[in-house]
Amino acid sequence: MQLGFFTMPIHPLTKDWRQCLREDQEAFLLADELGFAEGYVGEHVTDLAENITSCALFIATLAGRVKNIRMGTGTVNLPNSHPAHVASQLAMLDHLLDGKFNFGISPGGLLSDAEIFGNLDNDRNAMFLEAIDMVLALWMQEAPYNLRGKYWNISTERTLMGEIGQGKIGKPLQRPHPPIVVTAVAPFSKGVSAAAARGWDPISANFLMPWPRIATAMLRAVPKVAGPWILAIGGLRKVSSLPMT
């Protein structure tokens, strides 16, 4: 059995921010030394207690310092960032980590983050799905790009100078893309159902909805692919008695 490490580090509001970050870095370095297979860290822009504001930037500080552990964003809150920014930054991070990177994504759960980015009243699950589709398209397609959506439009058709590399977004080291993992908190959302149907893996946490509701919702939403998600979320619970048809 391989062990994973997922944290949204919480610190006293009065603690020096530099100390918080050093302690968080040391936790991942220790996890690497102890043989953990994966480590994920969260992000919030408007929470001074959970004060890692960019999980990708934090992970980048550990590049070259961790040896074996796969590092993962836990998660990039996609509605709060432009898909082109996410695609370019995470592709670079995959190279910094020499391909030991897992791409954790979610619609974001902190309402004050949604408000500060102007998304509080938007359909953030729809934004989430549009964003990840655009990120993957940027990684798989060649420039010039011409992606049109409800929330974002992405193009380099008017400015492409391919012979010198301008107008192109870099590709991740892992092809076609790093492993994708998605938070599983509210299984009734379209985002979770779509993620399971695509074969992406889940990240669970200690604030999940009651287990019977999760299992039932998963089976109803995507019965053919719900098994791995139920096993991951349920941990050591026995699920052999759950119907899979």
Query: Residue 198 domain-assigned?
Result: no
On whether residue 197 sits in a domain, the answer given is: no
Mean pLDDT, rounded, of the chain: 87
Q: Would 199 be classed as within a structural domain?
A: no
Is 124 a domain residue? yes
CB atoms within 10 A of CB 141: 12
Q: What is the pTM of this model?
A: 0.84
Residue 91, domain extent: 4-183
How many whole angstroms separate alpha carbon 140 and alpha carbon 100?
19
Q: Which parts of the chain fold into alpha helices (H)?
A: 17-33, 55-60, 83-96, 111-116, 124-140, 190-197, 211-221, 226-234
Number of domains forming the structure of the chain:
1
Task: Look at residue 166 and tell me if it is in a domain.
Answer: yes
Can you give the CATH number for the domain in which 134 is found? 3.20.20.30
pLDDT of residue 213: 57
Q: How far is CA 60 from the centre of its chain?
A: 15
Q: Can you give the pLDDT at residue 197?
A: 82
Q: What is the pLDDT of residue 237?
A: 39
Q: Is 211 exposed, middle or buried (0-12, 13-18, 19+ CB in 10 A)?
A: middle
Q: Does residue 130 sit within a domain? A: yes
User: pLDDT tens digit string along 63-110?
Assistant: 999 999 999 999 999 999 999 999 999 999 999 999 999 999 999 999
The residues of the chain scoring below 70 in pLDDT are 184-193, 204-245
**Beta-bridge mates of residue 34:** none
Report if residue 177 sits inside a domain.
Answer: yes
